[in-house]
Amino acid sequence: MIAAVSRRVALAALPLLLATGIAAAQTQKPGTLRIGFQRSSTLIAILKSNGGLEKALAPLGVQVSWHEFTSSLPQLEALNTGNIDFGFTGDTPPIFAQAANSNLLYVAALESSGKNEGVIVPADSPIKTPADLKGKRIAIPKGSSAHNTAVAVLEKAGLKLSDVTPVYLSPADAAAAFASNQVDAWSIWDPYLALYEKKGARVISFAGDAHTTSAFYLANRDFTKQHPDVVAQLNQIFADEGRWGSAHRAEIAKGLNEVTGVELSALETAIARANFGISPVTDAIAANQQVIADRFFRLGLIPREIKVRDIVWKWTPNS
């Protein structure tokens, strides 16, 4: 669909082709579209780096502002308070947000390959299987998708979270603790996972070995109510960009290396096993998300039972 003449030109082309579609569908337009992102949000990082979204929306008088977050929970709080309009997270942060009555909606899903997150141990660790984690210290980014993966991996091995010592650390702090043997294992996502695999860490369980999960695009509820066509067309941009990305993984890895400075070989590994397919939040995806919500309520990690479907927004893709 896009000629591979120049990587940057190619990456920018798709959103430009969608400008006409947005103009035709839009009934209201915001002055500025505020998008939250993390550096691990691959498709958002691509669109941010190539300026394609700005070019698509400029003819409509809509500007784009980008807001970087170090983790998902503060990003979702910004969505809740209306400080951003649109963002992307893993599976677990929206559950915490919904339990806190946050003003946001699931608007699209990205089903995980199951290989872009996992539990790792040092190369010389005596830990060989998840069952060997009993009594060990596990670094976990609290409230993240890796938090859920850690619990799922333990449960599949017949263990409870209480059978280990969770050490709740940000990825940066966990990396330091893991490198200095202050923890025995680490539940983490790409590109950290790929980076530490390159350094010799062993994966004792990928996320997909223990459970099925998705990541999500989310939007502020009030923004979605006021600008449903904008949200639908944003989803479409990411869906079409994802289809392009699936066929141009090497180019994406090189582009992200330029943007983030993360080691190219690690990015190549991460991108090779990533899934870029954006879809509506189907009943099956919502049901799987409900399993996670019920798990976290059972563990006392969220204060009340929630129904995931209550905040699912229905999106019908163009194709």
Tokens 């942060």 belong to: 93
Widest Cα–Cα separation across the chain: 60
pLDDT at 8 > cutoff 50:
no
- Domain positions in the chain are 7-112+213-311, 117-209
pLDDT at 22: 43
| Residue range 89-136, pLDDT digits in tens | 999 999 999 999 999 999 999 999 999 999 999 999 999 999 999 999
pLDDT at 28: 58
Helices (H), 169-220: 171-179, 192-198
Q: Please, what's the b/e burial string for 220-256 (b: 16 or more CB within 10 A of its CB; e: otherwise)?
A: bbebbeebbebbbbbbbbbbbbbbbbeebbebbbbbb
Cα distance between the two ends of the chain: 15
- Out of 3.90.1170.50, 3.40.190.10, 1.10.1740.10, 3.40.50.11240, select the CATH number for domain 7-112+213-311: 3.40.190.10
- Give the dihedral of Cα atoms 225, 227, 232, 233; nearest 10 deg: -170
Residue 58, helix vs strand vs coil: helix
Q: Which positions ≥6 away from 5 have C-beta within 8 Å?
A: none
Two tokens at 29? 């337009």
Domain 117-209 bears CATH identifier 3.40.50.150: no
pLDDT at 11: 39
Two tokens at 215? 């990541």
What band does 54 get if pLDDT is binned at 50, 70 and 90? Answer: confident
What band does 42 get if pLDDT is binned at 50, 70 and 90? Answer: confident
What band does 62 get if pLDDT is binned at 50, 70 and 90? Answer: confident
What band does 80 get if pLDDT is binned at 50, 70 and 90? Answer: very high
Work out the average pLDDT over 35-55.
80
| Cα–Cα dist 51/282, whole Å | 30
Question: What percent of the chain lies above the pLDDT cut of 70?
Answer: 91
| Cα–Cα dist 174/184, whole Å | 11
pLDDT at 231: 93
Q: How far is CA 118 from CA 154, 194, 211, 269, in A?
A: 12, 10, 11, 14
Work out the average pLDDT over 28-45.
81
Residue 104, helix vs strand vs coil: strand
Domains 7-112+213-311 and 117-209 share a fold: yes
